[in-house]
Amino acid sequence: MNPGWRVLDFTEFKGSIVYRRGQLLVKRDGISEHVTVPLTQIAVVLIGNHASVSGAVLTKLSEYDVPLLVCNWSGIPIAGAAPWRDHTRIGARQRAQAELTLPRRKNAWGRIIRAKISGQAATIKSVSHSASEDLQELAKTVKSGDPNNVEAVAARKYWNAVSQYEIGFRRFPGSGVEGLNSCLDYAYTILRGYGIRAVVSAGLVGTLAVFHRGRDNPYALVDDLIEPFRPAVDAYVLTHYSQYGGGMDDPDVKRGLVAAVTGVFDGTGETIPTVLTAFCQEYGLYVEADRKTLEVPVWWGELNARERE
């Protein structure tokens, strides 16, 4: 898989993007000079309403395993293009994914939610020790399939604690509300882009999810598998939120949010995208029954997430 690391954000860009000899050539309207970016450096591309992209660019992005996300006016992805990745066991793996039994799906989902809540406990520990302890206890109660919807109970406690970072904060995903909401939405968009690349590279089908459902969601599986990584992204965003005074129109803010998604996940120095890619491969082995249980990465706090659920 292409080891690119750069996220190219063209959501506010007005101009054209074409391919030239292993690079993207970016031409802004009204400016004669252009910028080039080697394809080997690119991880994810975001496109807005005013950017023009050539067919050659789409072809080359696919060849280099780079997902392209088409975003609406508020920067939320509404469509995407991902490569049809060659995989040595893609046929067998996707058949196994489609035939995955309900008990094994439920078991995987319970472990994913347990890991997510444990990560949330680590993220808010510095602002609310009591809420962190409550979440740690809740994580222990998650059963296979999370039939009691412990995830929702934990979410209320978690976002209530997060509200200490912004007066009057309430979490409204995808609302376009300025402030912490928009920062989190943008960071999750980048995380989802990395998730799409990881799922495709593992030879998995995005629509065949563990838990999430929706006829209009081609990457429901991505939304499942990125859940344990959200608390890690949150931690980086919240730690640096006071620096984001410029709002989402400030390129420095977006660069900071990209850095949040590419931050270190564990004590070995592995980054969030690296661990996410490995996790998607593990899920592929799980659906093929090469793994009895799904080993889910847990965020235990900065540079301390090596333990597994």
| Binding residue numbers for Mn(2+) | 151, 212, 227
Residue 226 contacts residue 197 (beta carbons within 8 Å): no
Residue 42 contacts residue 64 (beta carbons within 8 Å): yes
Tokens of 243: 């620096």
Q: How far is CA 73 from CA 67, 96, 223, in A?
A: 19, 38, 22
Tokens of 135: 């979440």
> Annotated binding site: which residue ranges?
151, 212, 227
Q: What angle do CA 230, 236, 242 make, to 5 degrees?
A: 130
The three-class DSSP label of residue 120 is helix
Residue 141's contacts (CB-CB under 8 Å, 6 or more residues apart) are 148, 150
Q: How far is CA 46 from CA 118, 189, 194, in A?
A: 31, 9, 12
Q: Which of 161, 166, 170, 108 is nearest to 136 (CA)?
A: 161
Q: What angle do CA 73, 77, 56 make, to 5 degrees?
A: 100
Orientation of helix 102-124 relative to helix 129-141, angle to 10°:
170
**E-strand spans in the chain?**
6-10, 15-20, 23-28, 34-38, 42-47, 51-53, 68-71, 77-81
Residue 221 contacts residue 210 (beta carbons within 8 Å): yes
Compute the distance between CA of residue 277 and CA of residue 67 in angstroms, rounded to an integer: 14
